Each structure stands twice: as C-alpha cells, then as structure tokens.
Amino acid sequence: MCFRGKSAMKILAVTILCIAGIATWLFRASEDVAIELVNEPARLEFYDHGKLSRAVSLPAQSEFSRAVAKLLEKKKGKWRTSLSSFAPVQLLRGKSWTLNFQAKRIIANVPSQAGKPIQVITTLTDEEAAILDKAVKSASER
C-alpha cells in the first residue's frame, strides 16, 4: 500500500519529530555537580518505604564527606538531567543540596549555574557502589 498526499506528509512530519526528540534525549548536555561537601556539616538520613527511619548528623570534614567528595570528583561530566521522581533511600542533606544514594545510582538535587534547582543523576559501577556502601555503613554506626 502506498501513501499519497497529506497522509504521507503527516507520517513524514511525525517521523522527523520523533527522530529529533530521540536525538535530543540521547545527546543532551551533562551537568556537573558542584557541592561543597567537606567544609559543610551535613545530615545522613535513612528511609524505609519512603519514611524517615533514622538520621545521623555529620560534622564538617567528616570521613564520610571526604569519601563522597572523592566519588563525586570521579563522576565529573557523567551527570545527566532527570525529570523523574525518586523516593529517598539514603539521603545526604546539605544547606542547599541533597544526594540520594540508591543501589546503582546517585540522584543529586542541586542549584544550577543559573541558581535554579535541578535534578541530575549518575550511575555507579560495582566498585563505586561498594565504596559508597562501605562509607554509608561506617557513617551510620555513629
């Protein structure tokens, strides 16, 4: 069956829009996370089924903050904006930012370079996830 006239133009227009949308999504710019972790006190919160179950206050210069800052440094250029909502699991909360640690990803809610809040996400390798898990367990024993 051959399409003619207006229906062929509609199909072509929809196809072009779909390709442009997919290309935009695939090649979107990355955002870097600029968080002052080490010199700022923070709060590590643990959630169970979306409800806060426990929290630990972390002083500035904590071992946990240094470990997370080192991990964030390795993830420079590997953050992507995200429009999804994520339930908190292990949440590190600072003055103007939050980091949500999940099994294989970190979700950051931070101010953008323009000062508006954005949400970015990065995936973790097995090694990075193990390092983060060890640091969280160490901090939670306080």
Instruction: State pLDDT tens for residues 38-66.
Output: 788 999 999 998 899 999 999 988 889 88
Least confident of 10-19, 21-30, 39-48: 21-30
Supply the range of the domain harboring residue 98: 31-140
Count of domains forming the chain: 2
Check whether residue 118 and residue 97 sit in a common domain: yes
Is the confidence at residue 76, as pLDDT, over 80?
yes
Check whether residue 51 and residue 7 sit in a common domain: no
Q: Report pTM.
A: 0.74
C-beta separation of 43 from 92 below 8 A: yes
The tens digit of pLDDT for each residue in 83-120 reads: 888 999 999 999 889 999 998 999 999 887 777 888 99
Is the confidence at residue 10, as pLDDT, over 60?
yes
pLDDT attached to residue 50: 87
Check whether residue 70 and residue 94 sit in a common domain: yes
Closest of 121, 129, 127 to residue 32, by C-alpha: 121
